[in-house]
Chains A and B, each alone.
Chain A
Amino acid sequence: MKKYWFFVFIIFISFRSIGQQVSFLNDNKIYLDSLENVVKTNSSDSLRCLNSYKLSRFFLGTKKVKESKAYLDTANTLSRKSQFLTAVSQYYNAHRFLENNDIVGYEKALRSTYNALKKYNNRFAFRLRVVIIEEICIQLEQRNNEKESMQLLLKEAIPLAEKADAKEIMSDIYLGLAMTLMNRDLKIERQKARNYLKIAQDLIEKTTENSTTRERTKLTIYLTNAENETKLKQFNNAKVMLDKAFALLSKYPKSNMFNMYYFAEGVYYTDLNQHEKALLSYEKGIKSCLLLNDQFRINDLKNAQNDSYFALKKYKESKENLEYRIKHENFTLNRNQEYRKLARVYALLGDRKKACLFYEKHIVLNDSLNNSNFENEIVTLDAKFNKVENEKKISQLLAQKEKSELVAKNDKLKLLLLGLTAIILLISTVFFWKYYQNQKKLNTQKELNFKQELQTLESKQELAVSNALLEGEEVERKRLARDLHDGLGSMLSGIKLYMSKLSIDTVQNSPVIIENVNNQLDNSIKELRHIAQNMMPESLLKLGLEASLKDLCLKFNSNNLAVEFQYYPESNQILESKQIIIYRIVQELIHNVVKHAKASQILVSCSQSDSMFLITVEDNGVGFDSKKSNLFDGMGLKNIKNRVEFMKGKLDIDSQSQKGSVFNIELNIAN
């Protein structure tokens, strides 16, 4: 693999004129002459400048450093006159970084040139930009960043080449892509590479551009294709390609690219297991290299040759081959391999001593290589560690940032939530307030209605009570009329009869008659007094409720009936109209007891608080059923009930047969 990579690397570099040796098909003299001619004779400074740069680069490729430097200086002086040329100069001067092994600076310079050239829409700028991309890609590939390299080529370089309408350059790019893919030596990628190579081949074969490098590129494509087909075991295709390459090469017998052809042919034969033929090819390649004094390629070819020796078990030749290479090898890594192989060859040849010697050399070199590898690894690891640390820091910072962002977000969310809650609260408060107001209104309305209803009811009740009272009064009047008519009336009628008898009769009987009349008059007066007192007791008007009630009780007090009267007044004066009603109630109650109860004791207790008048009348008489429904049918109790209701009071009757009766009455005396 490694070996192959070198091969690719060399080719790659070679045609891009950056590597140590520039490949050429023809004598470059024509190309050089034309450029030098322009530099010397052309009146345009910019053309002279550009050509000077090209010459500088050419001489760098052919290792003529002095000439290269001279032309570079010339070009630099010329370039100062134009911005475009200044930008171009950056590219040609960037190579200095490579001389100082400053790869980073080199890449930086390339990229800044690339950006500076973006402004210019001429074909030269486009081409230069493609070249710059290709060089950046080489750097990327050396860092094993093939993916990015391919991306750059596909997305930047190809469109640019299209713009520049440079088929050869495009072909070159596709070739580069194919080589990158082949680098990994995987079948799938080689197949992809085959597609790219086909495009590259098509493009280069179709191009009509007159270019010094066209044929060279074509050859490189053929050889690369042959190589790829060989590795894909498509030997027929490979052979076609090799033939095409040979046909092309034969036009340029002085070319230094024969060795490449022979190398490819050798590989082709090796893979076909035709080692004798392969050896022949390699030998031809080496010869051609010796002519051009290209040690680098000789090593390559010899390396490939050695495998064939091994395959043919030509150990002696292999030994000589390896010893030659050890002598001429510059790469320690390769030399290490060679020591090992040589040790093996000696072992196979039976020279154990030499085998041991070279094996030891291999081990020593290997150890030192490993050490350096180890150191490199340590450095790499250190770098990695640092990178990881940095990444860790970055991730920490990121996490912190995220955290703070989260906190901020949370805060925001909280605030939002708070705000929302506040708004909801406000709304609900307003809602409830409104609701409350409405309810209040409704309640007030209801209350008003209720009050009105109550008032209506009350007035109805009052009306009913008043009616009842009026009715009661009517009944009272009837009784009074009967009393007057039956009692007083009849007595007065009697007196009148006596008196008429007196006027007619003789005077003899007059004393008796007068006596009778006198008695009758006495009775009449008593009757009248009785009636009047019943109607309205004088003491009530003159001395108040207590005195009149006391008189009332005393009037009924006798040997057979003890009437106890208790009165606990308060300073509040009761309206006379109410006093009369109270008096009537008590009067009626006592009348009832006297009339019906056959009691021996009556207790009349009256008391007064702020707005309340309590009447209790108890007796020990025969009692009645206070629960019966027609209790208030009789005139007496009905009157009492009406009067109590009129006074907005309560009537409570408790009586059982043979257990006396209790009347508790509460009256409202508030004015």
Chain B
Amino acid sequence: MNKPIKIVIVDDHPIVIEGITMLFSNSNDFEIVASFTKGLDFLKYSLINQVDIILLDVFLPDVNGIDLCKTIKQEYPKIVVLGMSSQSERSLVIQFIQNGASGYLLKNASLQEFYDCVKKAMAGEIVFSNEVKIIIGQPETSDFKKLPTLTTREKEILTLLSKGKTTQDIADELFLSFLTIQTHRRNILNKLGVKNVAELINLAIKERLL
């Protein structure tokens, strides 16, 4: 029989800590060694070196869970961090993983999900609770699209630029301020990843944007 996995829970709601403790209490594989309602308290934990895995709430009153995750992974790389939240926003999840977390769980996940995720995470896998998997699984448009779409206004400006109009000309023609057109112009160059108008026109012709 292996030594039980030493778990620390960091969550600002005592009731959540209680629930999760209760969840793991019947199992010999897991041992809840400590729990904190404040993130910074964990860093002061004396036995922190013995901790195997931490269930870290993203939203803490004293410190941002995402930042705390990074700190933990930098100082104690051995500790496996699992994000935990009642929210399931994609960017949060991604940021968490990028900061070194091994997974992300929703607090309303089932007991089985908790067990599986902790075990898999200890085995080195990246784990998500089911609901999170759905969110992560959503395709990000820019991921597979080569060029970002130009807005109608940007297309107008591109057309006028190709006709050799200056920023002021365009501003006059579209009844917009010089600054607005300038911003749009810069956005177009940024979007299409070109450095100047010449390159932009070249690309526009190649991609049949005009």
Chain B binds chain A: yes
Q: A residues within 8 Å of B by Cβ?
A: 521-522, 525-526, 528-529, 532-533, 537-539, 542-543, 547-548, 550-551, 554-555, 557, 562-566, 568, 603, 605, 607-609, 612, 614, 616, 618, 654, 662, 664, 666
User: Which residues of chain B are within 8 angstroms of A529 by Cβ–Cβ distance?
Assistant: 86-88
User: Which residues of chain B are within 8 angstroms of A612 by Cβ–Cβ distance?
Assistant: 179-180, 183
Identify 27 residue pairs between A and B in the complex whose beta-carbon atoms are under 8 Å apart, listed by A's number. Answer: A522-B108, A525-B108, A526-B108, A533-B87, A538-B89, A542-B66, A542-B92, A543-B91, A547-B92, A547-B95, A548-B89, A550-B90, A551-B92, A554-B90, A554-B140, A557-B138, A564-B141, A564-B142, A564-B148, A565-B141, A566-B142, A568-B186, A603-B151, A607-B184, A612-B180, A614-B180, A662-B153
Would you call B187 and A607 a contact (CB within 8 A)?
Answer: yes
Interface string of B174-210 (1 = CB under 8 A from A): 0000011011101100110000000000000000000
Bound Cα distance A266, B107 (Å): 180
Would you call A538 and B149 a contact (CB within 8 A)?
Answer: no
Closest to A528 in B: B86
Nearest CB on B from A468, distance (A):
25
Closest to B91 in A: A547
Would you call A532 and B108 a contact (CB within 8 A)?
Answer: no
Partner of A609, one of B91, B139, B152, B186: B186
User: Which residues of chain A are within 8 angstroms of B87 by Cβ–Cβ distance?
Assistant: 529, 532-533, 538-539
Assess whether B64 is interfacial by the CB under 8 Å rule: yes
Interface residues of B in 77-135 (CB under 8 A from A): 85-92, 95, 107-108, 135
Partner of A614, one of B86, B138, B152, B183: B183
Q: Which 9 A-B pairs have the closest CB atoms?
A: A547-B91, A609-B183, A616-B151, A551-B89, A539-B89, A607-B187, A525-B108, A564-B141, A538-B87
Nearest CB on B from A254, distance (A):
137
Partner of B151, one of A525, A533, A547, A605: A605
Partner of B91, one of A521, A550, A603: A550
Bound Cα distance A555, B131 (Å): 13
User: Which residues of chain B are within 8 angstroms of A528 by Cβ–Cβ distance?
Assistant: 86
Bound Cα distance A565, B86 (Å): 25
Q: A554 and B138 in contact (CB under 8 A), knowing A537-B89, A542-B58?
A: yes
Would you call B183 and A533 a contact (CB within 8 A)?
Answer: no
Closest to B190 in A: A568
Would you call B187 and A605 a contact (CB within 8 A)?
Answer: yes
Would you call B141 and A563 a contact (CB within 8 A)?
Answer: yes
Partner of B152, one of A526, A554, A566, A654: A654
Closest to A551 in B: B89
Secondary structure of the B contact surface, majority rule? helix
Q: B residues within 8 Å of A by Cβ?
A: 58-59, 64, 66, 85-92, 95, 107-108, 135, 138-142, 145, 148-149, 151-154, 179-180, 182-184, 186-187, 190-191
Q: A551 and B149 in contact (CB under 8 A), knowing A542-B58, A666-B180?
A: no
Nearest CB on B from A538, distance (A):
5
User: Which residues of chain B are within 8 angstroms of A563 by Cβ–Cβ distance?
Assistant: 141
User: Which residues of chain B are within 8 angstroms of A664 by Cβ–Cβ distance?
Assistant: 151, 153
Nearest CB on A from B137, distance (A):
11
Bound Cα distance A557, B141 (Å): 9
Bound Cα distance A533, B91 (Å): 14
User: Which residues of chain A are within 8 angstroms of B64 by Cβ–Cβ distance?
Assistant: 542
Bound Cα distance A539, B59 (Å): 10
Nearest CB on A from B16, distance (A):
12
Nearest CB on B from A417, distance (A):
52
Nearest CB on B from A607, distance (A):
5
Q: A538 and B59 in contact (CB under 8 A), knowing A551-B90, A564-B149?
A: yes
User: Which residues of chain B are within 8 angstroms of A522 by Cβ–Cβ distance?
Assistant: 108
Which of A528, A551, A662 is the most central at the interface, judged by chain B CB atoms within 10 Å of its CB?
A: A551
User: Which residues of chain A are within 8 angstroms of B152 by Cβ–Cβ distance?
Assistant: 616, 618, 654, 662
Bound Cα distance A607, B91 (Å): 19
Bound Cα distance A586, B38 (Å): 34
Closest to A661 in B: B152
Q: A525 and B59 in contact (CB under 8 A), knowing A543-B91, A612-B183, A614-B180?
A: no
Partner of A548, one of B59, B91, B135: B91
Partner of A551, one of B91, B142, B153: B91
Would you call A568 and B142 a contact (CB within 8 A)?
Answer: no
Partner of B153, one of A525, A547, A562, A616: A616
Nearest CB on A from B95, distance (A):
6
Would you call A662 and B151 a contact (CB within 8 A)?
Answer: yes
User: Which residues of chain B are within 8 angstroms of A543 by Cβ–Cβ distance?
Assistant: 66, 91-92, 95
Closest to B85 in A: A538
Nearest CB on B from A528, distance (A):
8
Would you call A568 and B191 a contact (CB within 8 A)?
Answer: yes
User: Which residues of chain A are within 8 angstroms of B58 by Cβ–Cβ distance?
Assistant: 538, 542
Closest to A525 in B: B108
Would you call A557 and B139 a contact (CB within 8 A)?
Answer: yes
Nearest CB on B from A229, distance (A):
119
Which of B142, B145, B187, B190 is the most central at the interface, judged by chain A CB atoms within 10 Å of its CB?
A: B187
Closest to A546 in B: B91
Bound Cα distance A603, B149 (Å): 8
A538-B85, A554-B138 are known; give 8 further A-B pairs, CB within 8 A: A522-B108, A525-B108, A532-B86, A533-B89, A538-B92, A554-B135, A566-B149, A664-B153
